[in-house]
Amino acid sequence: GAVVSQHPSRVICKSGTSVKIECRSLDFQATTMFWYRQFPKQSLMLMATSNEGSKATYEQGVEKDKFLINHASLTLSTLTVTSAHPEDSSFYICSASAQSPYEQYFGPGTRLTVT
């Protein structure tokens, strides 16, 4: 149980375009989903916390107009990187909480490359 999927797993886009990443909890309802960014050989950096039906809470320094988060249902959250630039290239990972609020189950990640 507690499986989280992410799509796509890898995406290459041109500078200035937008990219949407989907995060789904497959076998449980997730009240809260989290979006992280990870640089090579580093820990996870939390970007935002997303609750179903409400606006996402962004961490300090994360541009909410650039990283649009929508949590439309208890099993789906999306992250849209708008007007992507090469510096947005990174590994983006989502997670979801099940019964215990502090146990997060992670998706497999999305490798974004902006050319």
In the complex, the residues that contact another protein under the rule CB under 8 A are 4, 6, 32, 34, 41-44, 46, 49, 51, 57, 91, 93, 95, 97, 100-109, 111
CB of 72 to another protein, least distance (A): 18
User: Whole-angstrom Cα distance, residue 77 to residue 70?
Assistant: 6
Pairing of strands 10-13, 110-114: parallel
- Closer to another protein by CB, 36 or 114: give it: 36
- Give the 3-state secondary structure of residue 115: coil
Q: Which is nearer to another protein, 20 or 109 (CB)?
A: 109
Token match 């146990």: residue?
103
Instruction: Round to whole Å and give the CA distance between 63 and 15.
Output: 17
Among 96, 112, 101, CA closest to 5 = 96
Between 11 and 109, name the residue whose CB sits nearer to another protein: 109
Measured from the CB atom, is 16 or 55 closer to another protein? 55
